Amino acid sequence: MQEVESLRRKFLRYLAQTSDEPMNVVVERAEGCWIYSKDGKRYLDFISGIAVTNIGHRHPEVVNAIHEQVERYLHTMVYGEFVQDVQVELAERLVEIVQEAFRRASGQAWELQYYPTNSGTEANEGALKLSRKFTGRKKFVAFKNSFHGDTMGSLSVTGREVYRQPFLPLLADVEFLPFGDVSSLERIDEEVAAVICEPIQGEAGIIVPPDEFLPALRKRCDEVGALLILDEVQTGFGRTGKWFAFEHWNIVPDILTVGKALGGGMPLSGFLARREVMRAFAENPPLCHVTTFGGHPVNCAAALAALKVMERENLPQKASVTGEKLKSELQRLAGKFPQIVEVRGKGLMLGLEFETKGQTQTFVKRCLDMGLIVGGTLHTEKVVRIAPPLVVSDEEIAWAISVMEKALEG
Ligand code: PLP
């Protein structure tokens, strides 16, 4: 216990804090859907490190792949110069998976390339820069309540005023439209380099757009020659019950950004685009978008193993089936407890909306005390995020529901 308290004190003393209310779980180890703390408790993880551990914590195949790569080489050279076998293999597998999803959604064949980065926000930075360079245009369109990351470019297209205000001026040429509103899409014009959009808004509180919205957005971008960037950093890799969320609406982006779950627990992200679009980064001038650590070999090895697990275990399909079961259980709770206003989302990206901030906070805290980790989303104080690893079992779901029911009974 003394060790635990000392660690908590040092965490507060030496690590820069991002809020006054950290969750404060002192981690000892993690495995599958469970996190074990140093004070002898165990927690069922129903947020997956925010949509990262889709295949569970410390999947043995990921751990093995990391060990094997560590024995061979770590960093050897900045991205784009040396041929690193594991990076090439990962790119090939990822491109094939995304091309296959593009084919399912559009019926066409695609020739995509992958540019690896280290975080979701960096993937979006690269996508925004690429769209300017390729189109020669300046302006961006984004959506209200979006979240694309915390570096200056991504923050510039993030649609929440309280988070933007302290950092103004951001990029000037950005217009925000209401998410899900087809009629406002006509504001996208020939000056727009790119529209950036989450297919399902995560941090806004798990907002699924009306079915006509994304097809209308794709059509408008085509009419005016703007590139469509879909940010699937959170929705990608099976989270919503398909490999990528765009498959729910049969549209494809010009640039797809990915991150979070890609690395199987290691930091790896990136963006994918057609070869002729990507070419804009290699000329006039060459080396106009570079990265030291993007595509780190250990992270690529982990990602390659993670993708194999997702494919072999058909995790997107599993998330769809499990998500339906979980959603209907949550709807049962909503029928019983009037403080729940709505249950929404797709696959295992679900949100529970409460009537008040107080009810939301109490629910999250009671669940944590009983060993179930759920959490909020960044842009609203009334939504609880429910996003377990895609490998979650029926027994684990039943246990989580019983905990939530107790938390609601209070
Ligand atoms: N884009 C979306 C949709 C996200 O949900 C997030 C993080 O939550 C990001 C981008 C930023 O990712 P990162 O924190 O890895 O920079």
For residue range 283-331, list pLDDT tens digits in order: 999 999 999 999 999 999 999 999 999 999 999 999 999 999 999 999 9
214 and 178 together in one domain: yes
Please give the tally of structural domains in the chain. 2
Please check whether residue 47 lies inside any domain of the structure.
yes
Answer yes or no: is 63 within a domain: no
Specify the pLDDT at position 275: 98
Measured in Å, residue 364 CA sits from the centre of ligand 1 at 22
Quote the ligand 1 centre to 74 CA distance (angstroms). Answer: 26
Check which CATH number belongs to the domain holding 89 and give it: 3.40.640.10
Mutate to test the pocket of ligand 1, among 18, 54, 118, 121 (most ligand atoms within 8 A of CB): 121
Do both 157 and 257 map to the same domain? yes
User: Tokens at residue 331, please?
Assistant: 């709807």
pLDDT for 1: 81
Expressed in angstroms and rounded, the spacing between residue 269 Cα and the centre of ligand 1 is 10
Say if residue 44 is in the same domain as residue 73: no
62 found inside a domain: no
Q: Are residues 157 and 302 in the same domain?
A: yes
Backbone angles phi, psi at 232, to 5 degrees: -110, 30
Assess whether 222 and 346 both reside in one domain.
no
Closest among 165, 238, 163, 233 to 199, alpha carbons compared:
233
Residue 93 near residue 311, CB atoms below 8 Å: no
Confidence at residue 235, expressed as pLDDT on a 0 to 100 scale: 98
Distance (Å, whole) CA 205 – CA 299: 30
Up-side HSE of residue 234: CA atoms within 13 Å toward CB?
28
The answer to whether 27 and 37 have CB atoms below 8 angstroms apart is: yes
Residue 296 forms part of a structural domain: yes
Distance in Å, CA 238 to ligand 1 centroid: 16
> Does 49 lie in the same domain as 81?
no
Q: Are residues 191 and 307 both part of a single domain? A: yes
**Best of 18, 124, 147 to mutate for ligand 1, by most ligand atoms within 8 A of CB?**
147
Residue 405 phi, psi (nearest 5):
-60, -45
The answer to whether residue 64 is domain-embedded is: no
Domain annotation covers residue 61: no
Residue 214's contacts (CB-CB under 8 Å, 6 or more residues apart) are 197, 199, 246, 249, 251
Residue 410 pLDDT > 90: no
Dist. CA 146–CA 201, nearest whole Å: 6
Atom of ligand 1 nearest to the CA of 202: 5
> Atom 12 (ligand 1): residue with closest C-alpha?
120
Separation between Cα atoms, residue 228 and residue 255, nearest integer Å: 6
User: CA 309 to CA 30: how far, in whole Å?
Assistant: 18
Same domain, 31 and 87: no
Check whether 361 has a pLDDT greater than 90: yes
| Predicted confidence (pLDDT) per residue in 165-204, tens digit | 999 999 999 999 999 999 999 999 999 999 999 999 999 9
- 128 and 193 assigned to the same domain: yes
Q: Is residue 122 included in any domain, yes or no?
A: yes
Cα(266) to centroid(ligand 1), Å:
14
Residues 243 and 204 in one domain: yes
Instruction: Map the chain to HEC letters.
Output: CHHHHHHHHHHHHHCCCCCCCCCCCCEEEEEECEEEECCCCEEEECCHHHHCCCCCECCHHHHHHHHHHHHHCCCCCCCCCCCCHHHHHHHHHHHHHHHHHHHHHHCCCCCEEEEEECCHHHHHHHHHHHHHHHHCCCEEEEECCCCCCCCHHHHHCCCCHHHHHHHCCCCCCEEEECCCCHHHHHHCCCCEEEEEECCCECCCCCECCCCCHHHHHHHHHHHHCCEEEEECCCCCCCCCCCCCHHHHCCCCCCEEEECHHHHECECCEEEEEEHHHHHHHCCCCCCCCCCCCCCCHHHHHHHHHHHHHHHHCCHHHHHHHHHHHHHHHHHHHHHHCCCEEEEEEECCEEEEEECCHHHHHHHHHHHHHCCEECEEECCEEEEEEECCCCCCCHHHHHHHHHHHHHHHHC
Residue nearest to atom 1 of ligand 1 (CA): 148
In this structure, the answer to whether residues 369 and 232 fall within a common structural domain is no
Helices 297-312, 315-336: axis angle to 10 degrees equals: 70
* Boundary-marking domain end, from 269, 291, 312: 312
Residue 294 lies in a domain: yes
Q: What's the 258 CA to ligand 1 centre distance in angstroms? A: 9
Q: Does residue 137 surpass a pLDDT of 90?
A: yes
Query: 122 and 216 share a domain?
Result: yes
Domain boundary residue, one of 280, 312, 344: 312
How far, in Å, is the centroid of ligand 1 from the Cα of 199? 13
Measure 373 CA to ligand 1 centroid, in angstroms: 20
Polymer length in residues for the chain: 410
Alpha-carbon 377 to chain mean position: 12
Contact between 226 and 277 under an 8 Å Cβ cutoff? The reply is: no
CA 383 to chain centre: 17
Per-residue pLDDT band for 224 (boundaries 50, 70, 90) equals very high
Q: Quick one: pLDDT band at residue 145, thresholds 50, 70, 90? A: very high
**Average pLDDT estimate for 331-350:** 98
User: What's the whole-number mean pLDDT along residues 209-216?
Assistant: 98
Q: Could you tell me the pTM of the whole model?
A: 0.98
> What CATH number is associated with residue 404?
3.90.1150.10
Show which of 312, 327, 359 is a domain's final residue: 312
In the structure, which protein residues have their CB atom closer than 6 angstroms to any atom of ligand 1?
50, 119-121, 124, 147-149, 198, 202-203, 231, 233-234, 259
The β-bridge partners of 386 are 350
Q: Which domain holds residue 38?
A: 2-55+314-409
Atom of ligand 1 nearest to the CA of 259: 15
